[in-house]
Amino acid sequence: MPKVVKTKEALTEELKKLKEGKKSTGFVPTMGALHQGHLSLIRKCQEENDLVIVSIFVNPTQFNDKKDLANYPRKEEADLQKLNRLDVDLIFYPDDKEMYPEGVKKTDYKIGALANKLEGKHRPGHFQGVVTVVQKFFDLIQPDKAYFGQKDFQQYLVIKKMVEDLNQKVEIILFPTVREKDGLAMSSRNVLLNLQDRKRAPILFKTLNRAKVKLMSQEVSEVKEWAMGFMESYPGFKAEYFEVLDLESFKPLTKVETGKKYIVCGALQIDNVRLIDNIIIS
């Protein structure tokens, strides 16, 4: 089994030993219930670094919904077995008290405009919780590179901006979304879907792909209206947002211009399970 440390003190001590003679340290933060998306991210990290640290922590400060936090899947034994097979160097597996000894106190770092749209708008306080915990991890681990998935593209942008704003010396790497055979983006939350909803969930990815085609000939507003309706094809499916944004500025577009890269993002609530996805279009 790989070495698992649960306290900051043990983490610092282990890191001191492990980092000796190693050129680069890669870090993959996760909330556990690991799937192939996480594992691919970790493999990429192993390819590019001599030392690989993975954290598993269901961060309470990034949940704006108490029920969502309570229902979030936790699979310690299975996760450790998966990481054992991958042969990661060190796993940081703290509990809430270890990460928040003074209770839930968020960082004062100001995210700015990114916090007010899409995920930020629909999950108030979510990104403030994300930057709080990621800052703590970066301080403790001091990685050279940290890996984030494209499924949470806005999260990647928030972290990248934080690192720039605070002059942190870590390179932020984006990794493409890993999908199930039917197109559904892998997510720890997928296991919460019942059988019927699981079969229907690829509607989100389907919406993004059909929208891509429609955007070639239709106005963004028209496609948006269609997409919001299409995502709600099944009973219990509630579309939260559908946006077309400029990839560089992450500003919503009213018109798609040729030669520019853009990103189409959607969020869909299926009963109590919230799924997000996006595709980048060039």
Q: What share of the chain is helix, strand, coil (3-state, %, to 5)?
A: 45, 20, 35
Judged by beta carbon, residue 134 or residue 253, the one nearer ligand AMP is 134
Q: Quote the least distance from Cβ 222 to ligand AMP, whole Å.
A: 30
How many Å separate Cα 162 from the centre of its chain?
A: 15
Judged by beta carbon, residue 174 or residue 228, the one nearer ligand AMP is 174
- Catalytic pick from 35, 38, 122, 126? 38
Per-residue burial over 220-244, b = 16 or more CB atoms within 10 Å of its CB, e = otherwise: beebbebbbebbbeeeebebbbbbb
- What residue ranges bind ligand AMP (CB under 6 A)? 30-31, 37-38, 41, 148-149, 151-152, 175, 177-178, 185-188
Judged by beta carbon, residue 223 or residue 240, the one nearer ligand AMP is 240
**Catalytic site includes residue 38:** yes
- What amino acid is encoded at 222 in this protein? E
Q: Quote the least distance from Cβ 206 to ligand AMP, whole Å.
A: 16
Judged by beta carbon, residue 62 or residue 207, the one nearer ligand AMP is 62
Q: Quote the least distance from Cβ 178 to ligand AMP, whole Å.
A: 4
Q: Quote the least distance from Cβ 29 to ligand AMP, whole Å.
A: 6
Residue showing tokens 């919001």: 228
Count of helix runs (H) and strand runs (E) in the chain: 11, 9
d(CA 13, CA 7): 10
Catalytic residues: 38
